[in-house]
Amino acid sequence: MQTSLCRLVVVCLSWFHPPVVRCGWLLLLTLSFAPHVIQAGEPDDEPRAVIGTFLRTYCLDCHNDDDAEAKRNFQSYQLPLNTQQQLIDTDEIIAQLTLGQMPPEDAELPTDDQSLQIIDLLRAEIAAARERFDSTGGRTVLRRLSNREYENTIASLFGRRVDTLGLTADFPSDNTSEHFDNIGDALVTSGFLLDQYFQAADRLVETRLAKPGMEPKDWHFTENFQQYEELAGAHRNFFKLKFLAIYEQPNTDTRQGGYAHIQDFLEGVPVSGNYEIKVHAQAMHRDTHYDPKIFRIDFSEPFQIAVVPGDASKGHIHYPQAIEPILASAVVPDDEPQWLSFQVWLEAGQTPRFIFPNGPYESRASVIAVNKRYKDEFDPKTYRAGVSRAHILREGALPHIKIGEVKVRGPLPEPNGSAEEIAVFGPQGFQADQAIKQLNRFASRAFRRPLNDADQKRIETLYQKRLQEGASPRQSALDTVKLILCSPSFLYFSEITDEKQERLNAFDLASRLSYALWSAPPDEQLMGKAQSGELVKPGVLKAEIQRMLKERRSEEFVVGFLESWLNLREIGNQPPPRKSAWQYYSKNLPQSMKQELRLFFADLLNENGSSMRLLDADYTFVDKYLAELYELPEKDSLRLADGFQRVSLEKSRQRGGVLGMAGVLTVSANGVETSPVTRGVWVSENLLGMTPPTPPDDVPSIEANVSGAKTIREKLALHSTDKTCFSCHRKIDPLGYGLESFDPIGRWRTTYPKAQGNAKIDPSGKFPSGESYTDFVGFKNVMSESRQELFARNLIEKLLTYSTGRHMERVDQFAIDDLLKKAKADDYALRTMLVDVLTSEIFLSP
C-alpha cells in the first residue's frame, strides 16, 4: 500500500495559513467513490452522520449531482472506506483540510472545532480501513530468517563463531517495521539475496569443513615492520622498521596509527583455525609529562592491546575493515617489554592486526599539539613542526604501544576433531557408509523439525548425483550440506502446523520459542520435548521457558528485543559532531550506552522486578565512561577493568529509568540538537504505544510565524497558536519538554549551547490530562504514576510482536487485555509478564 501517502493523514502543522481550518480544496478534487449518498446516519452511526452533515453544509452546494465543480460530486462519497484508493484519497483530503485551502472567503466556513472534529473522524475511518486491509487475521505470515537470526543459526549449527567470516556483510540490510527486524511482511527475499545465500553457504562449507589438513607452522617476525602514510618516514628514520607502534584508538577520524599489521604476513594464515599469537610489547610513556588533555586519555588506566583480523584483499590494511571483531585483548606492561599471548580464530587469508582500544584520540592532532607546545624541548636541528614525529620518538615522550617481535603458530590441533566436523557429522566425523544418515540428522537440525519423505529423497538424490559426477563421498556430502543451507525449510520458518489447527504443533512451538529467546534453533532438550509431544503441555512449556531464560543464550533476547523496542540499533546512524562530542568517539560511548540498557533489563528480568522500574529506578549499571558522562561519584573510583557495576542513584535523581539513560536520549535526538517534538514522538511511540499523526509532506517543520522566538519552547509556543497545530502538539510536546535537560548524547545541561544563545533550559510541562511537572524528576513521576497501564500494555504488545514476528491487530486486543490484567495483579513483574506472553493464546497460535 502507498504508505507514504497513507501516513499523510494528519496533523496539525499549518504554517502558511491562518489558524482557521476550512473545507479542503482537495476534497473537491478527489472524491468519486461508491454511487451511494452518505446519509445522515442512524443513532449507532453518529460519527459518519456528522461527516455527512459537514459535507452537505459546506460542500454540496457546489459539488452535487447537478453542479459538480472540479468534476467532483460529494453525493457519491460513502463510508466505510472499502478500497485502497479511497484510503489514499481520504489521506489527501485530511492533508488539505489541515492546510486550510478553499472554499473562498465569501463562502460559509466551518468553525475551528467543527473542522478539527471532521479531521479526527476521518482519521478514525482511515485507521479502521487500514487495519482491515492489513490484517493477517491474527496469524503470523511465512517469514525468513533475519540476517541476525541467520548468523546465530549458522553459528549454532556449526558449533563455532562465524562473525570472522562476515557471511551477511554483503547481504541487503533487513527492512524493519516499526523498528522490528523480524516482521514477516517486511523481510523481503530478492534474487540478489538468494545469490548471497548460495555464496555464503559455499564459503562457509569450503572454509570450515573442506579445509585441508595441516600441521602447525611457526612464523617469527622481527623486522620490516612497515606502517603507512604519516608513520612511514618516522618509523624508517628512527625505528629502522624494527618496531611496530600503535598510537591511537581505532575510532578516530584521521586514522593515523590505529592499526599495526605485519607487512611480511599480508597473505595471512593458510587455513582457517585457532592460532597462537605472541607479541613482545611495552606501554611507552604512560607517565608522560605532556598535558593529558592533548591526548584525551586517562593515563591512570593501563594501556590495552587487542587483536583483530585483517584481510589485505578486502581493503587498506591500515584502515578499518568491514570484518574485524575483537578476538582477544590484554593489558600491556609499562616497565619493560613482555611476551603477551593470545589464542584466536583466524579465517584463511586473514592476518592479525593490533589495536589500542583505550589509546589517544586523534594521533595527528596530538602530534601537532606536542610540536607546538613543547617545541623548546627538542633539538632545533631535528625539530620539525606539524605532523612530524621522528624527533618526538627520539627525544620526547609520545604515548604509544611498541611491539618488537611477533610470533604466530598454528593451526592448533583439536584433539577430538574440529567443532564444525562434530556439529555437522557427529562425534566420529564424516563416515561414508553413514553419509545419508548423517546428512538427514543435520538437515533435521537445520530445518528445526523431523524430515518428511520428500526431504529425505532430495538429500539422497543430490548426494548420489554428485557421486555419479565423480565427486568423492566427502565432497558429495559437503555439497549436500550447502543444499540444505539454501533450502526454504532452513531459510524460512516453514511451519508444518495444519492451517485448520488453532494451536502450533510441538515442533513449530519449539522453533518459535527458541528464536524468541535465543534467536537460534532449538537445542537438543527442547527438540526432545517437542518429539515427545510434552512441550504443548502448559507446565512443561513454562518449565522450558524458565530453563531457557537461565541460559546465557537468552542474552540474545535482551539484545534483539531492546534493539527493536527502543530502536537501539539506530544509535550511531546520526552521530554528533566530533568537535563538540569527542567523548562519544574516544570512549566508544554507543557500546556503553547499549550495554547499560541491556544489563538493566536483564537484571530486572532475572529478579522478576516490576517493569515500572523501566520508567523510574534508584539504580542503574555503569562503567567508568558512563559514570563520567553522568557525573556520578563512581567516576573517581571505577576502573576500566571493573567493567559495569550496579550503582545507586538515590542522590542522583537526574538519572534513573530508561528516560535517564544515554542510549535512549541519544537515539531520540539527531546528534546535533534536541527537540521536544522529536523526543516527545519517540516517548509516545516507543513507551506509550501511541503513534502521533505525521504532518503533511507539503508543510516544513515548525515554520509557522515564529519570528522573534529564541528557544525551541518559544518557537513551539508561537507555532502552536495555530489551533490545528496545537491539537497535536499539546499531546506530543509535554512528553519531550522534560527531556530538554539532556543534550543529544545524554549529558545533563541547564542551558542551551552557545549556538542557541545560551538560553536557560525550561524542563517544565503540562499534560492534556492536567498533570504538570517542573523538571525531569517530576516528568518521570507523572509517567510512572499515571501512565502505568499505557506503558505496560505497550510493553506487552512489543513482547508479543517480537516473539511472534507480527504486529498486533484489533483481533488480538482482548487477549492483550487479559495479559494486562494479570500483569497488573502481579505488580507488572517483568519475568512473569514475559512467561505469560510466551504461554498466551497469541503466541501459541499459528
pLDDT for residue 27 is more than 50:
no
Residue 475, C-beta contacts closer than 8 angstroms, at least 6 positions apart? 210, 466
Lowest mean per-residue pLDDT among 361-365, 523-527, 557-561, 753-757: 753-757
Lowest mean per-residue pLDDT among 78-82, 373-377, 685-689, 735-739: 78-82
524 residue type, one letter: E
Section 742-748 average pLDDT: 95
Residue identified by cell 513454562 is 542
Using left for φ > 0, alpha for ψ between -120 and 50, and beta otherwise, residue 249 falls in: beta
Distance from the Cα of residue 486 to its chain's centroid: 26
Residue 334, C-beta contacts closer than 8 angstroms, at least 6 positions apart? 282, 283, 286, 287, 302, 303
The per-residue pLDDT for range 538-557, each reduced to its tens digit, is 999 999 999 999 999 999 99
| End-to-end C-alpha distance for the chain, whole angstroms | 25
710 residue type, one letter: K
The per-residue pLDDT for range 606-625, each reduced to its tens digit, is 999 999 999 999 999 999 99
Residue 398, C-beta contacts closer than 8 angstroms, at least 6 positions apart? 247, 284, 285, 288, 290, 366, 367, 370, 389, 392
CA distance 194 to 150: 13
Distance from the Cα of residue 396 to its chain's centroid: 44
Alpha-carbon dihedral 198, 199, 201, 205, rounded to 10 degrees: 140
| Full 3-state SS string of 637-682 | CCCHHHCCEEEECCCCCCCCCHHHCHHHHHHCCCCCCCCHHHHHHH
Residue identified by cell 529478579 is 607
Q: Helices (H) and strands (E) in the chain — how many of each? A: 33, 12
pLDDT for residue 106 is more than 70:
no
> Element (H or E) spanning 544, and its range?
helix 538-550
Section 730-741 average pLDDT: 89
C-alpha distances in Å from residue 609, one per residue of 339, 600, 619: 46, 11, 13
CA distance 510 to 536: 9
Residue identified by cell 535523581 is 653
Q: pLDDT-based confidence at 138, cuts 50/70/90?
A: low
The per-residue pLDDT for range 790-837, each reduced to its tens digit, is 999 999 999 999 999 999 988 888 899 999 999 999 999 999 999 999
**Burial label, 144 (beta-carbon count in 10 A; 0-12, 13-18, 19+):** buried
C-alpha distances in Å from residue 811, one per residue of 122, 732, 834: 22, 28, 20
Report pLDDT for 829: 98
| The residue count for the chain | 846
pLDDT for residue 635 is more than 70:
yes
Residue identified by cell 453525493 is 75
Using left for φ > 0, alpha for ψ between -120 and 50, and beta otherwise, residue 668 falls in: alpha
Distance from the Cα of residue 228 to its chain's centroid: 35
Q: What are φ and ψ of residue 396, in 5° steps?
A: -105, -155
CB atoms within 10 A of CB 832: 16
Residue 606, C-beta contacts closer than 8 angstroms, at least 6 positions apart? 549, 831
E strands, 131-250, are 217-221, 244-246
Residue 45, C-beta contacts closer than 8 angstroms, at least 6 positions apart? none
Residue 595, C-beta contacts closer than 8 angstroms, at least 6 positions apart? 621, 623, 644
The residue among 626, 600, 595 whose CA lies nearest residue 614 is 600
Give the torsion sign (CA, 41, 46, 52, 53). positive
Give the torsion sign (CA, 233, 236, 241, 242). negative
CA distance 6 to 1: 8
Is 308 in contact with 325 (CB distance < 8 Å)?
yes
- The β-bridge partners of 3 are none
Q: Grid coordinates in use for 653?
A: 535523581
pLDDT for residue 726 is more than 70:
no
Question: What is the domain partition of the chain in residue ranges?
Answer: 3-134, 143-214+422-494, 217-410, 568-786, 789-837
Q: Grid coordinates in use for 260?
A: 599495526
Q: pLDDT-based confidence at 229, cuts 50/70/90?
A: confident
Find out if CATH 2.60.120.260 is the number for domain 217-410: yes
Lowest mean per-residue pLDDT among 421-435, 716-730, 759-773: 716-730
CB atoms within 10 A of CB 599: 19
- The β-bridge partners of 622 are 645
Lowest mean per-residue pLDDT among 34-48, 134-148, 232-246: 34-48
CB atoms within 10 A of CB 372: 11
The residue among 59, 53, 7, 66 whose CA lies nearest residue 29 is 59
